[in-house]
Structures are given as structure tokens and as C-alpha cells.
Amino acid sequence: MVVVMAPDATDEDIARVVEKVEGVGGEAFVSKGVVRTIIGLVGDIDSFHHLNLRSMSGVADVHRISDPYKLVSRQHHPERSTVWVGGVPFGPETFTFVAGPCAVESPAQTLEAAEMAKAAGATLLRGGAFKPRTSPYAFQGLGVRGLEILSSVREATGLPIVTEITDARDVKVVVEHADMLQVGTRNMANFGLLQAVGEAGKPVLLKRGMNSTIEEWLMAAEYIAQRGNLDVVLCERGIRTFEPATRNTLDISAVPVVQATSHLPVIVDPSHAAGRKDLVVPLSRAAIAVGADGVIVDVHPDPESALCDGPQALLGNDLRLLAQAVRQLPPAVGRVDAGTRVRTPV
Ligand code: PEP
Ligand code: MN
């Protein structure tokens, strides 16, 4: 932590800061410049927070140097992590392609979407059984029946499943069926839910809150990690900006920013970012080029009849182009298809 003194701070002001810091067992290193003095603090950061240094006479500003998150930070774990989901890796050496319908609608629709996903090269199936809809009148998902359909489609295709959990009370039933629990953008700051999935013993896909900073997102991951679960994959899915051309603005720079500061894998959801199928392939290419550890994409056998997010679902030629991108581009940035590294889960 660094304390920046105001230009008119007196020697007494400086001495009082040093005394306070030393009073809680810290060390204070005073550096006097021509105009300003700065004081570097070494010691227990939590004890410094309680000192209220910012309100002291002569203090202009206080800066934190270390990350506010610990378990998910590279300061504490410099190597980037690999998270395994049903035998499929998410990590720095691989590129993981996740695809499936936005919502589970029926056994036939889910199976067909899963077969499309698999044929395109996906190694994990996505599909929502509990849908967090903006309107209470919109399709809310099939609930437990949807989870059962996902389980049977996993059986038929061999694809592990990632599905959203929207309520801490559903942990038990979702864990019975899912290989990975998704926390959606609307629940990123639902701290009770984060703690519950942190204790659930399954890997978590944590989407970025559409109104959240990267630091808030990593603090949300810290909530999960703090409950003993470090198997967290982050997902950039677009944030709200003033731009109406896309549903959200894909913050592509979040990928390298997160990778520089956190050891957790980070993937991109171009479907929910754009809300438009014509942008999914170009944004996926951008995600691969920027160094994302994977993508998660909506596919649907009949987007026009989809009960949720039809306009962004791929099929046909768009899906073929996506399959080509995820096959051809990751090797150019030093990655192999996660499908070539699959382990049999124990
Ligand atoms: C989803 O993936 O189905 C979903 C609802 O995504 P998000 O939380 O990013 O809107
Ligand atoms: Mn959706």
C-alpha cells in the first residue's frame, strides 16, 4: 500500500502516519520528493484498512498495490490453472469448444442440438434447464425435467454438461445431473449462490456480470474459491454500454487482462454478447486470436421456433464456419483442441 501525502503536508502529518502504521506492527518507508512525499507500507493490509489513513490530516490518497482477491490471483499462484470438467480440460495449452441450445426445450431438440454441437467439434454440451429470464412471463425452462433430458443426452452423445443454476436451493438436484454449474450474468453478484456452488464439489462456469468490472468479477470468483472450490472457469459474455447495435458489447480486452491477473481459465460467449448470429463467427475468431481458453456458443436445430435466444443460435453454414475457425485458428496461437486431451473421468 502506498500513502500519497498532499503537497502542503507537514512533517508532523508524515510522522503521525508513520506512528499509526507502526502501531499496528507495519513498516513505513518515507520517500520525500521535491513536491510530494509518499510513504510505502509493508505489513498486514487488513490492519492498514482499519486505520482510516485516507481521513488523516495531510493525506491526499491511498493506493492498494496487491490484488484484493487472493486465491484466484496470480500473485499467489503464478502458473495458469487447468480446470477439468468431465475429463475435458480448460487451460492455457488447449482450446475448448462448448456448444448447445440456449434452453432445453424437449428431448428431441436437445439431442439434435447436441449432435450438431458434437459434429462441429464441441467437447462439452451447454443447455439451460433453469432460465433466468428478464420477464416472468417468458419461458422459464423445464427445470428438473430439463436436467433429466440433459443427462439422457449426455448418455447418448458422451458430451459432459454445463447448465445454469439460478437458486442456491437447487444445488442438490443440479449437481446430480451436471458436470459443471453455470452462474449466469444476472447472478454473478448473488453471494449466497456463489458460496453454495463453492461448496457443491463441481466445477463452475462463472459469467461476468453485465454491469460488473473485471475486479468485481474476480471477487465473485474469490467467493467460490474461498469455499474450497478452485475449479472455476471465467466467461466474458459482454457488458452493457451505450451501443445498441449489439445486445451487449463484447469486452475482448477482458481476456488478456484477466489472464494477466488471475490464474483461472477464461472463455468467451460470443452468442450472448452479440445477440445476433451473424456476429458469432467473427467474434469467435477474435476470441481465439486474443488468447481465450475456449468459446461457448448457442446452436439450435430450428432457431425460428426456439423458446429462448433464437436470433443468436447457429446452424447450417454459420456452424460450419465456426467449426472451421475452432479447428484452424487455435494452432496458430499455440493451442491444441481440448478434444485431443480428454481424460477418462475417474
Ligand atoms: C446463458 O448462457 O444461457 C445465459 C443466460 O447467459 P448470460 O447469463 O450470459 O446471459
Ligand atoms: Mn440465452
* Count of CB atoms situated within 10 Å of the CB of 331: 12
Q: What is the pLDDT of residues 154-188, one digit of tens each?
A: 999 999 999 999 999 999 999 999 999 999 999 99
Cell 510513504, located at residue? 39
- The ligand 1 atom nearest the CA atom of 207: 9
Instruction: Specify the CATH architecture of the domain 2-63.
Output: 2-Layer Sandwich (3.30)
* Concatenated DSSP letters of 205-271: EEEPPTT--HHHHHHHHHHHHHTT---EEEEE--B--S--SSSSB--TTHHHHHHHHB-S-EEE-HH
Decide whether any atom of ligand 1 lies within 6 Å of the 208 Cβ: no
Decide whether any atom of ligand 1 lies within 6 Å of the 185 Cβ: yes
Question: Which residues in the chain are classed under CATH 3.20.20.70?
Answer: 83-341
Give me ligand 2 centre to Cα 139, in Å.
11
- The ligand 1 atom nearest the CA atom of 103: 3
Q: Which three cell numbers stand for residue 16?
A: 503521525
* Count of CB atoms situated within 10 Å of the CB of 103: 26
Backbone angles phi, psi at 150, to 5 degrees: -60, -45
Distance CA(60)–CA(58), nearest Å, equals 6
Q: Which neighbouring-strand residues pair with 29? A: 40
* Spatial CB neighbours of 145, under 8 Å, sequence gap ≥ 6: 129
Q: What is the pLDDT of residues 293-342, one digit of tens each?
A: 999 999 999 999 999 999 999 999 999 999 999 999 999 999 999 999 99
**Which of 105, 89, 123, 145 has its CA nearest to residue 313?**
105
Q: Looking at residues 190-207, what average pLDDT do you find?
A: 97
What is the chain's mean pLDDT, rounded?
Answer: 96
Which residue, by CA, sits nearest to atom 8 of ligand 1? 184
Decide whether any atom of ligand 1 lies within 6 Å of the 272 Cβ: yes
Centroid of chain to Cα 11 = 47
Helix, strand, or coil (residue 258):
helix
User: pTM, whole model, 2 decimals?
Assistant: 0.91
Helix, strand, or coil (residue 271):
helix
Question: Which residues in the chain are classed under CATH 3.30.70.1140?
Answer: 2-63
Whether 249 has a pLDDT exceeding 80, the answer reads yes
Class level of CATH domain 83-341: alpha beta
